[in-house]
Amino acid sequence: MAGTRYVGFAEETTLGSWVDPTKYSELVTETVIPNKRYIFPETSRAVSPTKKMTGNYLQSGDISFLCAPENLTPYICKWNLGTPATTTPESEVYQHVFKPSSSLKSASLELGIESMTRKLAGSIVDVLSIEGIVGRPLVLTASIFAKEESKGSIGTPSYSPVADFNYTDAKIKIGGTLRSYVRAFRLRIGNSIPIDELFTLGYSGFQSVEVGYPHLVDGTLDLLFPDSTEYDRFLAETEFAIQLKAEGVLCGATQKYTFQVDVPQAIYTSDAAPHIDRQMPLRLRAPFRGEWKTSDSADVIVTMINTLATI
C-alpha cells in the first residue's frame, strides 16, 4: 500500500524564507519539476561544452486538488488573486471575496512523498484553473513557480473534515439565468508572471513577485443544444456574465459552505456552434474570454463562505 502523500502549506512573510506547514491537504496529482537550468558556455576549447555554471534555478509545474471549503482552496485563491475582503454574514461564519490584485503573497509548500518531503520555499501561483465536469468532483489546479527546493522529513498531516464540492453541488448561470444544459465549466485565471525577469545579479533565485500583463481570464463551456441561445450570443457578439456556484452543507444557522466564481463580463471568442456528427446528439464546446468590468473592478471574482476567520 502507498504511504503518506500530501501537501502542507503556510504563508511566508518574506519571499523564500521557509515557514513550517500549519495546514495540510490531500492532492490529486502534482507535476512540479525542479530544473537547475545550467548554463553551458560555448568556447573555442572543444566542440562541446567543457564547463557549466549555475543558471536561473526554478521549480515549476502544477498541483491539482479537490475544491473544498477549508482545504488548500481558499489559500490558493488568495495566493493567485490577493488578500480577500472578509465579512461576517452570521456568527462564526465568514465570507471571503477575492478580486485580482497586483500584490501577491508567497507560500511554503511541502510535498509529502511517503518517506520524505520536497520543501518548496518561495512558491507563487501564476495560474489557477477551475474545472467542474459532470460525474466528477470540482477540481482546482495551481500552476506555480518556486524559488528554492530542499529535502525534509515526512510529517503527520491532519485534514479538514468538511466535505469536498461535487458536481451536483454546482449550478451555472449564463447571462444571469440558471442554465440546465451545461456539462462542463473550465476557467483559467492567469497572472502572466514574468518569472525570468525577476532574477537579479548576485542571486540564484527570483527576488520578487510581480503580476504581469495581461491578466488573463478565459475558459470553455461544454453545452447541450436545446436551442440556439448561446449560438445567438456568439453571432451577435453579446457580452454576458457567467457564474458557477457550489453549495455544501450548512456552516451556520442559515449560511452554507460556498464556492462561487463570477466572470462579470465575458464574450464567446470562437465556435459556439453545434457540429454535425452523423445522428449523434448535438453538443457545443464554447470558448470564452473574461473582460474587465469597471463597475466590479474585476474580470473575475471568487467568493467563499466557510468558518475560517482569516485566510
Q: Which pLDDT tens digit goes with each residue over 222-252? A: 999 999 999 999 999 999 999 999 999 999 9
Residue 270 lies in a domain: yes
Residue 208 lies in a domain: yes
Residue 311 lies in a domain: no
pLDDT band at 204 (very low <50, low <70, confident <90, very high): confident
Q: Which pLDDT tens digit goes with each residue over 275-293? A: 989 999 989 999 999 999 9
Mean pLDDT for 75-86 is 98
pLDDT band at 3 (very low <50, low <70, confident <90, very high): confident
State yes or no: pLDDT of 206 exceeds 90. yes
Residue 47 lies in a domain: no
* C-alpha–C-alpha distance, residues 32 and 225, integer Å: 39
* C-alpha–C-alpha distance, residues 191 and 186, integer Å: 17
pLDDT of residue 84: 98
How far, CA to CA in Å, does 255 sit from each of 176, 248, 310? 22, 10, 17
Our CA dihedral for 84, 88, 90, 94, rounded to 10 degrees, sits at 30
Q: Which pLDDT tens digit goes with each residue over 39-75? A: 999 998 999 999 999 899 999 999 999 999 999 999 9
Q: Which pLDDT tens digit goes with each residue over 151-182? A: 999 999 999 999 999 999 999 999 999 999 99
Supply the pTM of this predicted model: 0.95
Domain carrying residue 189 = 5-40+53-306
How far, CA to CA in Å, does 64 sit from each of 105, 142, 236, 239? 20, 6, 37, 31
pLDDT band at 2 (very low <50, low <70, confident <90, very high): low
Task: Look at residues 204, 208, 232, 92 and name the one whose alpha carbon lies nearest to residue 148.
Answer: 204
**Percent of the chain whose pLDDT exceeds 70:** 99
Residue 48 lies in a domain: no
Q: Mean pLDDT of all residues in the chain?
A: 96
Residue 204 lies in a domain: yes
Domains contained in the chain, number: 1
Residue 46 lies in a domain: no
Q: Which three cell numbers stand for residue 70?
A: 477549508
Min mean pLDDT across 48-57, 114-123, 127-136 is at 48-57
Residue 167 lies in a domain: yes
State yes or no: pLDDT of 23 exceeds 90. yes
